[in-house]
Structure 1
Amino acid sequence: MDRKYKLILVEDDTSLGYLLSEYLGMKGFMVTWAKNAQEALVKTETNVFDLAILDVMLPDMDGFELSQKIKNINPDLPFIFLTARSLKIDVLKGFSLGAVDYLKKPIDEEELVVRINALLARLVVDSEVEQQAAEYEIGDYSLNTENFELRYRGELIKLTGKEFDLLTLLAMNQNQLCTHKEILTTIWDKNDYFNKKSLNVFVSHLRKHLSKDPKVSIVNVNRRGFMLRVEE
């Protein structure tokens, strides 16, 4: 990602809070972890965040009430609820209060990252940069996500829709691992054997498209996923 997004994670479970904050930090986010609602409110008043991740079941105040107090401090701060409760009424209540997403425990860390990236990408488009083209520099290539164009030193390279979506996801996480699950869930909406085989085919296509610049490569990382590597 080009910039480090700032997240506030509100989770009273010490093990889960540590795990999520460490994992999200490894994925390039700046994470502030609050262990209760009062701590979260203090941190929200003194810091600017891009996204809040709120546990519904907190010891001093439920996440629903906390979300409304946070909105009084920062009306534009989007938030995701985490909950062990699976009642439909809780899910509906969360969305009615303005949640942009809702994840049920146990939390799948990779899915959480996929959701966060998707939400932040959408929010960026809807924000003040809406009129600007989102462009990623990939060595001597440039990827314009507004015009759906990949160019090499000005020369247009034609991509299929799936190739473009895959390259965009890799470019958003340049020099960072994108796991098979992250890619398949984001691009194909399903993580299964057949889509994984398709993914390998599309990666081969992209490698050919990017072969003009020796500084650029798509690396298979220990069978865990792929990384768009750009050497300085």
Structure 2
Amino acid sequence: MAELKVKILLAEDDPNFGIVLRDYLELHDYDVTLCNDGCKGNAAFRKGTFDLCILDVMMPEKDGFTLAREIKKLNPNVPLIFLTAKTLKEDMLEGFKIGADDYITKPFDSEVLLCKIHAILNRSANNANSKPATSEFRIGQYLFRPKLRILARQGHEQKLSPKEAELLHMLCLHLNDVLPREEALHQIWHEDSYFTARSMDVYIAKLRKYLKEDAAVEIINIHGQGYRLCVHNTAPY
């Protein structure tokens, strides 16, 4: 059976450059979908499944940053590379805050882009393999099922909201260790700002309320770093 090609979404409004880059990537065995504006890029991402997105920052209809935020809401784990003719520090910081894996300034060496794509895809695959999907977590007296968004204790089930479930899931993956504040904000809210940070504090308070019946379980605020879900005096599971 033939090996499946890596699928790349390329959003680039310059028709000549877009076609040349698409053909170059396809020459190196990538399956590339080319869109010439952000709205078409969003529609293509919703229709297909992509392993990587390469987005031009300045595009008509919808810019690359806006498209990236929409993509991250649909799939927080998909890798992103931004292309831009601008070298402003503020733009680069904005791209990385959204969740970019790399930021490349035009003009660039095509071989360098290939190396960056290869490195990002390898890193993404290694991260996926190092964190196998877990169908449920034991948190003291509680049983948490992330996919069903259910937190259960002694026959009582609490249905969590999507963000509550995502946040508790991340805390479980860092059980008894620190979940960095920035990591949670970028993964769940796709933005690290004063308002999203306050929103996360509200969700942490809700999770503390749900877990309060077991005195051995607590979520600790690690000042300047993040949060730590601790289970005290319990055997490892």
Residue 102 of structure 1: SS of its match in structure 2? Answer: strand
Q: Are the equivalent residues in 2 in contact too, given 1:124–1:130 (CA < 8 A)?
A: no
Cα distance between partner residues in 1 of 2:14 and 2:128: 33
Deviation per CA, 1:21-67: give whole Å up to 9, x if none. 00000011000001111111111011000000000000112111110
Cα distance between partner residues in 1 of 2:119 and 2:131: 16
Deviation per CA, 1:58-91: give whole Å up to 9, x if none. 0112111110011122222111000000011111
Q: Which runs of 5+ in 2 are unaligned?
A: 133-237
Structure 2 counterpart of 1:74, which letter? Answer: N
Cα distance between partner residues in 2 of 1:17 and 1:8: 11
Cα distance between partner residues in 2 of 1:34 and 1:77: 17
Larger radius of gyration: 2
Cα distance between partner residues in 2 of 1:51 and 1:3: 14
For residue 32 of structure 1, what is the aligned residue in structure 2?
33
Structure 2 counterpart of 1:57, which letter? Answer: M
Aligned-pair distance for 1:103? Answer: 0.2
Cα distance between partner residues in 2 of 1:123 and 1:77: 8
> Within 5 A, what are the aligned runs for 1:107-146?
107-128=108-129
| 1:43 is the counterpart of 2:44 | yes
Aligned-pair distance for 1:129? Answer: 6.8
For residue 194 of structure 2, what is the aligned residue in structure 1?
none
RMSD of aligned alpha carbons: 1.5
Structure 2 counterpart of 1:85, which letter? Answer: K
Deviation per CA, 1:177-204: give whole Å up to 9, x if none. xxxxxxxxxxxxxxxxxxxxxxxxxxxx
| 1:73 is the counterpart of 2:49 | no
Residue 13 of structure 2: SS of its match in structure 1? Answer: coil
Structure 2 counterpart of 1:54, which letter? Answer: L
Structure 1 counterpart of 2:28, which letter? Answer: K
For residue 5 of structure 1, what is the aligned residue in structure 2?
6
Cα distance between partner residues in 1 of 2:43 and 2:62: 14
Cα distance between partner residues in 2 of 1:129 and 1:22: 33
- Identity of counterpart residues, as a percentage? 42
Cα distance between partner residues in 1 of 2:24 and 2:106: 16
Aligned length: 130
The structure-2 alpha-carbon separation of the partners of 1:40 and 1:80, relative to structure 1 and needing over 3 Å to count, comes to same
Cα distance between partner residues in 2 of 1:74 and 1:67: 10
Cα distance between partner residues in 2 of 1:130 and 1:16: 38
Residue 61 of structure 2: SS of its match in structure 1? Answer: coil
For residue 57 of structure 1, what is the aligned residue in structure 2?
58
Structure 1 moving runs of 4+ over 3 Å: 128-131
| 1:83 is the counterpart of 2:81 | no
TM-score of the pair, normalised by structure 1: 0.54
Residue 128 of structure 1: SS of its match in structure 2? Answer: helix
Structure 1 counterpart of 2:43, which letter? Answer: V
TM-score of the pair, normalised by structure 2: 0.53
Q: Are the equivalent residues in 1 in contact too, given 2:79–2:120 (CA < 8 A)?
A: no
